[in-house]
Amino acid sequence: MKKIVVAGAGGFIGGHLIKTLKETGHQVRAVDIKPLTKWYQITPGVDNLVLDLKNKKNCYQALNGYEEVFNLAADMGGMGFIETHKADCMLSVLINTHLLMVARDLGIQRFFYASSACVYNGEKQTDPKNPGLKESDAYPALAEDGYGWEKLFSERMCRHFREDFGLVTRVPRFHNVYGPYGTYDGGREKAPAAICRKVIESELFDKKDIVIWGDGNQTRSFMYIDDCIKGILDIMYSNIEEPINLGSSEMVSINQLVDYVEEIAGHKLNRKYDLTAPKGVRGRNSDNTLIMKYLGWEPSIPLKTGLQKTYNWIKSEMVNNRGKDPKKIVFNE
């Protein structure tokens, strides 16, 4: 049994990670800035704290008496959020910086930092037929403005705390994680959840059209949450010192993503394209050569399989809110 702190515990990935850690016998302290009523999942038997970890004093309270840290905490969301909240995203640097300093002071044994594919050089993501981003493609640096730069800087902080102070740090670069028990409305949702919601709205509110951001030809890969959690744990307890991709290599266009969700729903919608909406880079995929080398494994749950589970969960949540204005549908606490 380990004594583990999870920062960002009220978020989508954090909720799933805590559930897994608790089920496997660990003592877990869960920390998030959001009130408990806003956490996506709450696992029984966990020490839950509501703290703003941008404040260094709160980091001492969060980590005191514990052995390991998983830092998933960040002010972030989908492209619609990170393109319009660059300063808020950058301020997350205070969370990781203070957690690293406190982890050093308290003798924390292992420290996990969740980075992002947004660290990659934008000039290497201009082709929808992206062959896959290698870890070395983060340099020369030209990260996603705001969010990506914060992630890249925090990666370097982890490296230097490892080199200068001997703190064991592990840093995966997440590629678009999706699944049940996450946000699907409100502006922070990512593409799979947003598309599922829009298609479900067509059933519940008799909508005929679906609005797609951009021309729909931009490409991404999407990793189901179960693969993500396995990757997090495998990387945390590996000997991998450098940042490493954690993502599916199954790349699809946004139009294909809509095709898949329409297939699950059993009906087609009229597509309207908003070319003025935030759309990010043209093509992004995960090159999994390095994770295969180190772990002999890569995320492999097919997108259609994960989307079916995600769609079913979101539809269940939305049916519980049926009759409300779809713009005001919120997560069912």
Continuous H helices in the chain: 12-23, 56-63, 79-82, 86-90, 93-106, 147-165, 191-204, 225-236, 254-265, 289-295, 303-320
The token pair at 27 is: 């003592």
Which backbone phi and psi does 253 adopt, to 5 degrees? Answer: -80, 165
Catalytic annotation on 273? no
Q: Which stretches of 237-302 are DSSP H helices?
A: 254-265, 289-295
What is the distance between the alpha carbons of residues 84 and 62, in angstroms, rounded to a whole number?
30
Map residue 35 onto helix, strand or coil: coil
- Of 42, 41, 4, the C-alpha closest to 21 is 4
Neighbours of 32 (CB within 10 A): 25
**Do 102 and 59 contact (CB within 8 A), yes or no?**
yes
Structure tokens at 69: 């840290």
Say which of 40, 113, 120, 147 is annotated catalytic.
Answer: 147
Backbone angles phi and psi of 210, in degrees to 5: -130, 130
Catalytic residues: 147
